[in-house]
Amino acid sequence: MSSAAAIWDDRAADSTTVAWSPTITNTRTEIMAQAADDDLCRYLSFDTGWDGYDGLTFAPDTITKARAIVAVALEAFLRAGVTPSEITPGPASDGSVDVEIAVSGRTLIITLDRDNPLPVRVYAAAGEQIVEREDRLEDGGLVGWLGWLTRKNGIPPVLAGPRRNPGSGNALARCL
């Protein structure tokens, strides 16, 4: 398991322990998540003006929350047996950080602001269907978005109505 998983362990929220054996799919997913985690950690070393202009530094709390999102995504993909096409963080000159996750024509971008990383901004796209909203990722919010990416849920959580499993994001809420 990647070092990213060390900052987030959602097994506290889900008592089911998933056993899996290493496969090429798992390895590729772990490599993507580890690369994203490494990039996020590297952002902490950026100085003011890192972008060649007036780029702000990144708040440790914002990076920690972004790393937690990457770790939860890793676990979700490993459990679903799905390999994402992308898990990529993106630094912005205003000190915010994006985490972009894509699989099978579906894209999820979660943006965490520098000074107030919650709520996050969520952008989800599948073909012509696009959803943009703020979300606190509590009460199963992140799990719902990741379920949509792994095709467990056919439509984005925001369009599905009330969340069916309140409390499944409680461990995430503690982390975020």
What distances in angstroms separate CA 46 from CA 10, 40, 115, 117, 162, one per listed residue? 30, 11, 16, 18, 40
User: 67-81, 115-129, 138-152, 156-170 — which is least confidently predicted?
Assistant: 156-170
What confidence tier does 74 reach under pLDDT thresholds 50, 70, 90? very high
- Residue ranges of the domains in the chain? 3-175
* Order of strands, sheet of 86-91, starting from the edge strand that comes earlier in the sequence: 86-91, 97-103, 106-112, 120-126, 129-135
Residue 150: the pLDDT is: 87
What are 7-52's pLDDT values in tens digits?
Answer: 333 333 333 333 444 566 678 999 999 999 999 999 999 999 999 9
